[in-house]
Structures are given as C-alpha cells and as structure tokens.
Amino acid sequence: MNPTQLTQTRGRVLSPSETDKSQPSSGDLESSLIQIYHHHHQNSLQLRDQAEKAKKDAIGKAGRVSDLLVEAVNGGVQEAFVNEKRIEAEIRALASTIARFMKQTDQWLAASHAINTAVKEIGDFENWMKSMDFDCKSINAAIRNIHQR
C-alpha cells in the first residue's frame, strides 16, 4: 500500500469487500494488522467507556452514601434540637406554674394571717366583754348594796 492508501485506511475500518480487493500477500498482512489495530482501538474505547460509566456510578454511589451519612447525623442533631426546644418549653411552663404557686402561697399566708388576727381580735373582744360583764356585775352589786342600806 502506498502512503495515501495507508492514511485512508487508518482513518476507517475496511469493509470485507475492500479487504478482498487488496493485494494478496503484503496487503493481507497489512490489512490484518490494521484490523487488529482497529479492533484493539474499539476495545480500548469500549473499556474507556465502561471505566467512565463505572467511575460515574461509583461517584454517584459515594454521593448517595455521603448523603445518607449526613442525613443520619443530621437526624440525630435534629432530634436533639427538637428535644432541646421541648425541654425549654417545659422549663418555661414550669417556671410559670412555680410563679403562680408562689403567688397563691403568698395569698394563703396573707389569708391565714388575717384569720389569725381576726381570731385574736375575737379573743380580745371576748375578754373585753367578760371584763365589761364583770364590771357591770360589780357596779350592779354595788348599787344593790347601796340601795339596800
């Protein structure tokens, strides 16, 4: 084959009818080498495509694993955050309840103090009444003594 034919042959795969037209001895060897080269080149392209597909698949799966790991970690963090918010809400509710109970306790203490004061006043009034009764009886007895004499 001349150099022009060689350039044309390298750029494309020869069909079986074209290979039959080539020269029998040196052409068969050259065409066989070119066919082997093209076959090797096609196999290399297929392997490269397969490797590229495998690489893309591996990258996709690694991304998915990464997403699942982040999701798992974030799930725990999110759960802790939700629990923290729930605890804070309960703390606020308990603080409000404690403040209400303190106010109610102060009111009960004031009411019991008022009752104690009233009871003391009743006791004082009762003593005053007893004292007045005794004084009235004494005055009455003195007037009777005076009247009888």
- Tell me how far apart the alpha carbons of residues 47 and 71 are, in angstroms, rounded to a whole number: 35
Asked if 13 contacts 37 with a C-beta cutoff of 8 angstroms, the reply is no
pLDDT at residue 12, as a whole number: 54
Flag whether the pTM goes above 0.75: no
If the chain, 149 residues long, is cut into consecutive pieces of 10 residues, what is the mean pLDDT of each piece? 46 53 67 93 95 95 91 83 94 96 95 89 83 91 88
Residue-range domain boundaries for the chain: 25-148
| Chain centre distance of CA 97 | 28
3-state DSSP percent of the chain in helix, strand and coil, to 5:
95, 0, 5
